[in-house]
Structure 1
Amino acid sequence: MPTVSPTPVPPTTPSSDGVPSNTALTNAAPSDSALPGASASNRIHAVLVVRPDGRTPAAFHLRRTLAALAEQTRPVDALTIVVCGGDDHLFEVVDAAEAESVVKAPASTGFAAATALASPRGRESVEGDALWLLAQDTAPEPDALARLAGALELSPSVAFVAPKLVRWDDRSEIVSLGVSMTRFGRTVGLADDELDQGQHDAQEDVLGADVRGILVRSDAWARLGGLDRGLAGADEGLDLGVRARLAGGRVSLVPAALVATAGDGVAGLPVPLTPQRRRRAVYAERVAQLRRRLAYAPAVATPLHWLSVLPLALWRTVVDLVRKQPGRIASEWGAAAVAFVAIVPVWRARRRIARARAASWAQVAPLRTTQADLRERLDDDPEVAIGGHRRSDLRFFAGGGAWLVLAALTVSVAAFPALLAWPVLGGGALQPLANTVGQLWDDAAYGQRALGLDTIGPADPFSAVIAVLGSLWPWAPSRALVLLWILALPLAALGGWFAATRVTERASLRLLGGAVWALSPTLLVALTQGRPTGVLVHLLLPWLFYAGAVAHRSWAGAGAASLLLAAVLAAAPSLAPAMALLWFGAVVLGIVVRAGRGVARTVWTLVPSLALAAPLVWNALTHGRAWGLVADPGVPWAGPQVAADAAGRALLAAGIPTPDLAGWATLLPEGPTWWVPLLSVPLALLALAAPLTQRWAAGIVLLVVTALGLGTAFAAVGVSVSFVQSLTVPLWPGTGLSLAWLGALGGALVALDAGLAPRVALARGLAATLVFVAAVMLAVPSLTAFTRGTATIANGPASTLPAFVAAEGRDDPDVGTIVLTPQADAGVAAQVVWGASETVGGQTTLLSTRTQASPQDQQLASLAADLVTPSSEDVVAELADRGIGFILLAPTTPPETDAARTMRLSAMTALGQRDTLVVVGDTAKGELWRVVDEIAPRPTEAASVSALARWIAFGQFAVLGIALLLALPTATSIREARRTPRVVGPHWQEGR
């Protein structure tokens, strides 16, 4: 309940809305009025509302406002100050003012409620009386009231007049001068934040105005019922103007009347200087828009509008994500919830409009803002805005980037000519992809895995990457992998060129960056050995650098970086520690250097990665397989790798992931090769020199990236967490080297981009040429490996199983095949494959990283032992009951030992003696038998597993969908990007 100060005040009377109202007006004769023809009965009652909730102390603004009131050439006849909360210092200022009454109200009281407390009700309203609405931060010019009162006197049809609001500290900038709205109720400021050059001074008739400083006729105020308290402090002047129009009145502007406002008071929306204020403003704007929509709509349409409140909140959530404004989402839903439950206040607002209405909505329509008006107001050239940054042209074609990509494509076709005719890639860690897009995405979902007796669990995140890749060529998904191999070099050159645009503006250095990245030993080795994870990581890393470098200043960059980081970590989990350290460092720098600006965007970049990995991480932790989380996904394949010794790590330090010196040992089997690691020295020296240049900050960051990449590679060669049959598979260090190569190449470009004296400028060209020639020399063996027949990749088969099984598996993905492979130690490795083939996306680290036999493993081992043992009788029936219809005795990995040969022959004899098996024949994949008994369907997932799978898929798709919406460019995000430099960190401040 409001309280009144000791100043003489008449009794409290309730307002029409049930809120107490205090009035204290003196009976002294009014002073000389500046109103033309004003009579002694014309009174202006100023209502000054004070609430200390701004960043600047309210007393500071209040003193200037009170002084401005005292200096008015047409003094006010009565002044009521409403204090909402406050401290002793504020009350001292209020007590010193010459106010007829002071009303004390709770700190939560809004401007609309505060004006109702001070509205003049103790004296019957006389024609010509007016109410002047002010806040503690609205300081009028000395002649402001005289001009407002004169305009109100000259136009009897005007319900209220509004001044020109200008900035508190700069009268040349307009804060507000008239407000309109679109057809759907969106508020449009007619001159907000424009420089005052008199361009709007001729405008008078408007739909509404900012509520601060308006002068309202007392009779109109009483007839309209004052301000609507349900607007949450936004659009109060607009709503009052709309209701005045419907009541037959007008709203007029008085541009000559200036009122300075700081945007720090209780009236109007706060200046969005902080995230909290921005959220508050968004909330208030949306509450007001929904309230007005429900109050203005025809009675028949009001229920439909009410039912659409929550669906609209969902739609606006998507729109906010597309517009790169995720900070608005919470406010949008909060406003929707308030509007959804505020049925009674809406009914009161509609009744208030109905009581005062004397005109149709046709009076309002001509003053609405049309879409054509909005397009005309759009800033088409933000680059020339005052204080703005003009971003340089990209110059992809003029700077030679397109020619670089074309040259890389030519080199790729020349290096891998046969790939143009291959339908499927094989060899190394390559296998076919699933036959259909549906199977691709089934492999990426939680549930039954395509390998194992009945393996149920989360999919590796890499399966989602493969699903996306295969979906690009839906009629033959395996062809997408072939196209990736052909386009890998031009795509790497393109990514390297764009990544270089974050480092340098020089066209020659951008070309160097693209060329050296495409000729990296890690990419070329991954291409010739058949390592899809290594290829994908190398292609994605430059784009992650390109987007991640600006993630702190752009939601589009943060969204793109989050998706790219998720894909990189899905293909190379061993990079997770390095990426986590870089992410943590970016967050800390954002807090320390940029005072928290952009930290939310940086934090978001990790969210999609966590969403994709969460099911697998939870499964690994609950089953004690934490080390398995860093395993290379896809097909487990050791391949040739450097040793975990000093010599091997020296090769890694040179950027070479293979013991054959990137192929030079096979190219020159008898020649000296000691010089090959020295080819990386020019790049390394330039990277080390980057911190010594003017752009030392960028050089240090890139050097840290290099160190983290090398550290990852050094650790990878000493860790083995995957197993294939009876062999261990160490982590491949190439992905770590790709990260190190990125940092070193970026550092080298920073060093080469440094300003040099004219007499030594030639050194830049010589150093760049030396780096390029060294990269070409390192790449020669790998680029010729396919022609020389030393590459591992081959024209892969359409299936890893015999054609008979593959044909049935294409029609029925639940066809089961148990594959038995004799081992060198006389043992047998057993694996169950479901469908037409093993696939890259169907692989799972749930099986390849297990270190202890699970009950399922023991059952499978028992089945395999019984199959190769002639004494067992019931094993085939058990296979049929489990849905397994074929048995494949695969050949041993060459060279075949005597023990393995003996086991193979013994198994063939045991299987051939079973009456319940039919020999299909000797195939290229091994000896094949078919089960004669009726095959039971594969056991289906439990209902709880299916429900869990749906929830996991929904959560992951929701997070990835949000990231995708954030990453999609819009016209607004493109305009904002043009205001920022493309090169990050030419000086430390420009990266902010």
Structure 2
Amino acid sequence: MPTRVHAIIVARPGPSSRAQLLRTLDALTLQTRRPDAVTLVVCGDGTAARESDAIARVVEGIIEARTSTSFAEAVALAKPRVADDAAIWLLAHDTAPHPGALAQLAGALERSPSASIAAPKLVDVDDDRHLVSLGVTMTRWGRSVELAAGELDQNQHDGRDDALGADIRGMLIRAETTGRLLPDPGLGGADEGLDLGVRARLAGGRVTLAPGARVSVSPDGPAALPQGQAPRTYVTRLAQLHRRLAYAPAAVVPLHWLSLLPLALWRTIAHLVAKRPASVLPEWGAALAAMVRFGAVARSRRGIRTNRKASWARIAPLRISRAELRRRLDDGHGSEGGAVSELDFFSGGGAWAVLGALVVSIAAFTTLLAWPAIGGGALLPLRDTVAALWSDAAWGQRGVGIGVIGPADPFAAVLAVVGTLWAGAPSYAMVVLWLLALPLAVLGGWFAATRITDRGGLRIFGGAAWALAPTFLTALIEGRPAAVLAHLLLPWLFHTAVVAHRSWGAAGAASIILAATIACAPSLAPALIVLWLLAIIIVLSRAWFHGAVRLLWMLAPTAVLFAPLAFWQAQNGQLWSVFADPGAVWAGAQVGADPAGRLVLASGFPTADLAGWMDVLDPALAAWAPVLIAPVALLALAAAVAPRWGAGITLLGVTMAGLATAFLAVGVSVSFTQGTPVAIWPGTGLSLAWAGLVGGALVTLDTAITMPKLRIAAVTVAGLALAVCALPALTALHGGRTELTNGPESTLPAYVAAEARGDREISTLVLTPQNDGGLAIDVVWGASATLGAQTTMLSTATSPQGVDISALAVDLLSPRTFDAPGELAAHGIHFVLLDQPRGSESDAARAFRVEAVTALDQRAGFVKVGETDKGVLWRLDAEPAERSDPTRAEQGTAGSIIVLQLIVVFAALLLSIPTRASRRAARSQSRIVGRAADEPLVLPRRREDARPEPSAGDADEDEEQR
């Protein structure tokens, strides 16, 4: 038994520290075996402690240290006051030992002569039945693992007496080892007890556990880990890296040091996949700190080397195995068989609905099966190679104009993804998209419906209603790729965003889909941001702070992708132009910004032809087509008074946001095509409104209509009405009432396309006489004008961008004598194409075109290739200059922007990757959002599955524990 015991108490001033300290001192006086001396180390102002009679009666000395002094440094300050033959008892102001604690610890050392340290059982200060810590071990790579913690103490671990280490609070260090076994300040406040155990083993001793010695601790004391997740992660990771450098053989220390940053990068990926983004910055901070702490590592290594008597083989048996670690970390949360709501995609009829939509799509768009490319409307070919697709999606040289260098439209990245899916012929990917549009819409609508209802029939109705939306069908037959993609993305945005507050996986997926949706339809950004702010308010009102942080992340990819374009437009005084429709600018058959046009929008149709009804019926009869949408609208309105009225009102708010977007968009013109202003297409706003409308109808059908026969009748009427409403659009291709065309694979003559095959830097000056007598000028690089190369930098410009050659083009068709081929070649022009306007050609345009042909034929240096189906083509008889590369400053800007965008998007992708834990957590909660507490479940029908839905707060706590 130790002859003397010297207790060292480390105190840190705080709101409750004085009361805790007095409680600890009282506990020392009540010990059955009292310590022989007590030294108090105050990390901060010690005036109050020195003036306290209660403290003076117990302690033999008070040491005042800096506020920043760590627990290990405080113990080192008190060590000179400890006698050589005294054991050291390590305490803090919040560690209150139970009456027999010291006697039990001293007895454990007396019974085991090989033990250098005795460690108590730590229990919670507010509930001594809650076990805080009893023994610590580590993995092969040095991660510390509690042997027993966070459990109800039923003495189930009291049989264990040997451990690699323990929590440092309450440790009793044998007198003979106090000269060499003291906490290491280099650990930064974590794993100090584990490190003491390792060094004790190497010195020939060990750590013995004394479960009968109980010490109450609080979670915020001087020797405890920090409370915040980020500080806790930092100190634990720093301690792990410090121990790795201190324990490693001398020969491999440099290798460990060199691996710190690559390891931080790898662990960053692992943190994101495991849905722990808050650990990323602490990970890098710990790695950088460990790299520069040469002195602390050297001192730790020197201490181990001086006192080492045993080999490292003594440590290995006490490490935790991977299988045991997996078993300890697997808390069984969300285990199979206990799910609240299964997906039931196949058994619930979702797969059959998608298959049926595919059959309808093939029947409606049969002709597309033979087309190598799809054209018409706002459709253009895509680039020939995947590399060129992604080049168009990055900041840099644009594929139109001369010397136009700047940010790409985010829509180009969406097109690059689509084109990459059919890498051999990217343009054919658009044909595949059109063929799969209907089944993909049903698939997205079905999954979105799983957030509203458990009923298989209603989910099928939701998918079909989404695919039969008039605005979607209009976009298909008019050839609007951005609108089609936005409509396909919106249900997935709904599916992920409404549960983004629950998990990082949903937040990561929602952030990517949100960025893609706004890239396809920037005009939706204001409405979606308003809905996002509303979600933030709801989450904060329920004190789901973790959920609010996840919702904040949702905007990160969108902000990073749009920031360069927004900054560029703001510099040019055209910030509102960031909301312009991306891709090729095409007016189409838009409604006007007058009351009549807005009435058409309010009825759910984006164009005056009412999704083709005006082309198949007399206008007086076709005007009644909006009545076919009335059943869905009436069901949606009833959602405001349904039992799940909160969800119903929210969905009606989504409808109003979409309608407001459509009303505003139709009156805003920020894009131009050949000098003609074009209003923003209102159809994407109607797609958002349709999402709220269908969702509201599902809420009503699921909760308000309780009679099965009445529900079936309502679904049948609404579904048949939508199917009839879609008939003109679905038969438009067979009836020749669509803008879709077979190709072209290139908008330029075949001669130019052959010269520019493989995305060679071949430029063509395209001159198009206008019906009003003007002249439109475009410069196209490569084999064709492509969809991804289009940029709102030019389509919204009110002043010349890049090199302005408008005067040169006019002079080219005038009688003025000058070296036209030389000046065009100096700008890198290879060909000149004289085109004609789309649609009917006026007499003025025809006369202008004839005069232009004559003028170009008479100019020297222009070799006429001939008449083509794309216009009249001339080749310059001069050597064109190389296309100028961006300057070094522009290349640096481009590189920085691309790297930042890739980092954020990659992080979002990693967050969205499902893991075993995230899937189990998702299955443990109801898929239905906004379900009333007393609302009965429909699926699954297994008794064991019918359990209450856990709150989002509970889910957050479970995730943090994992």
Please give the TM-score of this superposition, normalised by the length of structure 1.
0.90
Which of residues 181, 184, 192 in structure 1 aligns to 2:149? 192
**Partners of 1:628 and 1:721 within 8 A in 2:** yes
User: 1:63: how far off?
Assistant: 4.2
- Map 1:710-749 → 2, pairs under 5 A: 710-749=659-698
SS in 2 for 1:754: helix
Deviates more, 1:424-433 or 1:973-982: 973-982
| 2:739 pairs with one of 792, 804, 822 | 792
Greater shift, 540-549 or 98-107, is seen at 98-107
Q: 2:385–2:759: 8 Å Cα contact kept in structure 1?
A: no
Summarize the alignment of residues 832-847 of structure 1 with structure 2, pairs less than 5 Å apart: 832-847=779-794
Counterpart among 585, 592, 600 of residue 643 in structure 1: 592
Residue number in structure 1 paired with 2:639: 690
Shift of residue 214 of structure 1?
1.7
Cα shift readout 1:274-310 (whole Å, capped 9, x = no counterpart):
xxx2112111101111111111111111222223223
Partner of 2:189: 233
Q: Tell me the equivalent position of 1:672.
A: 621
* Preserved contact between residue 984 and residue 990 of structure 1 (Cα < 8 Å): no
SS at match of 1:222: coil
The reply to whether residue 253 of structure 1 matches residue 209 of structure 2 is yes
Q: Which residue of structure 2 lines up, in the alignment, with residue 294 of structure 1? A: 245
Q: For the residues of structure 1 that align with 2:548 and 2:132, how far apart are their CA atoms?
A: 30
**Partners of 1:652 and 1:392 in 2: how far apart?**
37
CA distance in structure 2 between the aligned counterparts of 1:57 and 1:765, rounded to whole angstroms: 64
Corresponding residue of 1:342 = 293
Structure 1 residue 213, shift from structure 2 partner: 1.6
Give 2:886's aligned residue. 941
TM-fit CA distance, 1:721: 1.4
Q: Indicate yes or no: 2:720 matched with 1:764.
A: no
Over aligned residue pairs, what C-alpha RMSD do you find? 2.3
Give, as a single letter, the amino acid of the residue that structure 2 aligns with 1:364: I
SS at match of 1:201: coil
Compared with structure 1, are the counterparts of its residues 970 and 407 closer, same or farther at alpha carbon in structure 2 (3 Å cutoff)? same
**Paired residue for 2:40, among 81, 101, 106?**
81
* Distance across 2 between alignment mates of 1:492 and 1:424: 22
1:952-967 maps to which residues of 2 (within 5 A)?
Answer: 952-967=897-912
Tell me which residue corresponds to 2:537: 588
CA contact (8 A) 1:210 1:268 kept: no
Confirm or deny: 8 A CA contact 1:63 1:93 kept in the other structure: no
**Superposition deviation, residue 413 in structure 1:** 1.0
Query: Which residue pairs with 2:108 in the alignment?
Result: 151
Matched, 1:906 2:851: yes
Partner of 1:14: none
Q: Does 1:454 align with 2:403?
A: yes
CA distance in 1, matches of 2:280, 2:831: 55
Are 2:115 and 2:208, in contact at CA under 8 Å, matched by a contact in 1? Answer: yes
Higher mean C-alpha displacement, 532-541 vs 544-553 = 544-553
Note if 1:463 corresponds to 2:412.
Answer: yes
- Partner in structure 2 of residue 826 of structure 1: 773
More moved, 100-109 vs 492-501 = 100-109
| Deviation by residue 1:801-848 (Cα, 9 ceiling, x = unmatched) | 010000001145211111111211222222111110000001111221
Partner of 1:130: 87
Is the partner of 2:40 in helix, strand or coil?
A: strand
SS in 2 for 1:223: coil
Give the stretch that moved more between structures: 587-596 or 452-461. Answer: 587-596
Residue of structure 2 equivalent to 1:17: none
Q: Measure, in 1, the Cα distance between the counterparts of 2:478 and 2:549.
A: 41
Taking the TM superposition and a 5 Å limit, the aligned residue runs for 1:28-39 are none
The Cα shift of 1:606 comes to 1.1
Q: CA deviation at 1:990?
A: 4.1
Task: Give 1:264 shift.
Answer: 1.9
The residue aligned with 2:548 is 599
CA spacing shift, 1:117–1:936, aligned 2, 3 Å: closer
CA shift for structure 1 position 134 = 1.9
Amino acid at match of 1:937: E
More RCO (CA 8 Å, sep 6+): 2
1:167 matched to 2:124:
yes
Instruction: State how far apart, in whole Å, the 2-side matches of 1:991 and 1:707 are.
Output: 28
Letter in structure 1 aligned against 2:200 = A
Aligned residue number for residue 611 of structure 2: 662
Farther-moved stretch of structure 1 (841-850 vs 906-915)? 906-915
Q: Secondary structure at the residue paired with 1:876?
A: helix
Q: CA separation of 1:628/1:120 partners in 2, compared to 1, >3 Å: closer, same or farther?
A: closer
How far apart are residue 88 of structure 1 and its match?
Answer: 7.7
Give, in whole Å, the separation in 2 of the partners of 1:69 and 1:502: 58
Secondary structure of residue in 1 paired with 2:116: strand
Change (3 A) 1:389 1:328: farther
Distance 1:788 1:170 in 2: 78
Matched, 1:43 2:4: yes
Matched, 1:113 2:60: no
Q: What secondary structure does 2:38 align onto?
A: strand
Name the CA distance, whole Å, in 2 between partners of 1:391 and 1:113.
52
Match of 1:774 in 2: 721
What corresponds to 2:347 in structure 1?
Answer: 398
Residue number among 878, 881, 886 corresponding to 2:831 in the alignment? 886
SS in 2 for 1:557: helix
Q: Secondary structure at the match of 2:872?
A: strand
Q: Distance in 2 between matches of 1:206 and 1:755?
A: 61
CA distance in 1, matches of 2:329, 2:574: 57
Q: Aligned partners of 1:264, 1:93: CA distance in 2, in Å?
A: 26
* Aligned residue in 2 for 1:202: 159
Alpha-carbon displacement from aligned partner over 1:912-944 (angstroms, at most 9, x marks no partner): 222322221111111111122233323333333
Distance 1:122 1:200, change over 3 A: closer
Counterpart CA distance in 2 for 1:88 and 1:498 is 65
Q: How far did 1:97 drift?
A: 5.7
Q: Which secondary structure state, in structure 2, belongs to the residue aligned with residue 257 of structure 1?
A: strand
Moved more, 110-119 or 883-892: 110-119
| Ranges in structure 2 where 5+ consecutive residues have no aligned partner | 934-949, 954-962
Partner residue, 2:222: 266
Q: Look up the equivalent residue of 2:157 and give its one-letter code.
A: H
For 2:801 and 2:496, the matched residues in 1 are separated by 43
- Please name the residue that 2:21 is paired with: 62
Q: Is residue 2:798 matched to residue 1:851?
A: yes
Displacement of 1:595 in angstroms is 5.7
Segment of structure 1 superposing worse, 346-355 or 102-111: 102-111
Partner of 1:83, secondary structure, is strand
Deviation larger for 907-916 or 150-159: 907-916
Quick check: 1:453–1:832 contact (8 Å CA) kept in 2?
Answer: yes
Q: Which residue of 2 aligns with 1:896?
A: 841
Task: Give ranges in structure 1 of 5+ residues lacking alignment.
Answer: 1-37
Aligned residue pairs: how many? Answer: 936
Amino acid at match of 1:876: P
Deviation at 1:87, TM superposition (A): 8.2
Verify: 1:550 aligned to 2:499, yes or no: yes
Structure 1 residues 652, 389: CA separation in 2 closer, same or farther (over 3 Å shift)?
A: farther
TM-fit CA distance, 1:57: 1.7
What letter is aligned with 1:563? I
Q: Distance in 1 between matches of 2:52 and 2:438?
A: 75
User: What pairs up with 1:519-534 in 2 under 5 angstroms?
Assistant: 519-534=468-483
Following TM superposition, by how much is the alpha carbon of 1:564 offset from its aligned partner in structure 2, in angstroms? 1.1
Name which of 932, 942, 951 aligns with 2:877: 932
- Scaled by the length of structure 2, what TM-score is found? 0.93
Task: Decide which of 505, 509, 512 is 1:560's aligned counterpart.
Answer: 509
Provide the C-alpha distance between the structure 1 equivalents of 2:528 and 2:98, rounded to a whole number of angstroms. Answer: 58
- Shift of the alpha carbon at 1:443? 1.2
Local SS of the residue matching 1:165? strand
CA distance in 2: counterparts of 1:755 and 1:733, whole angstroms: 32
Which amino acid in 1 is paired with 2:40? I
Give the Cα separation in 1 of the matches to 2:602 and 2:259: 61
Contact 1:313 1:332 in 2 (8 A): yes
CA distance 1:381–1:201, change in 2 (3 Å): same
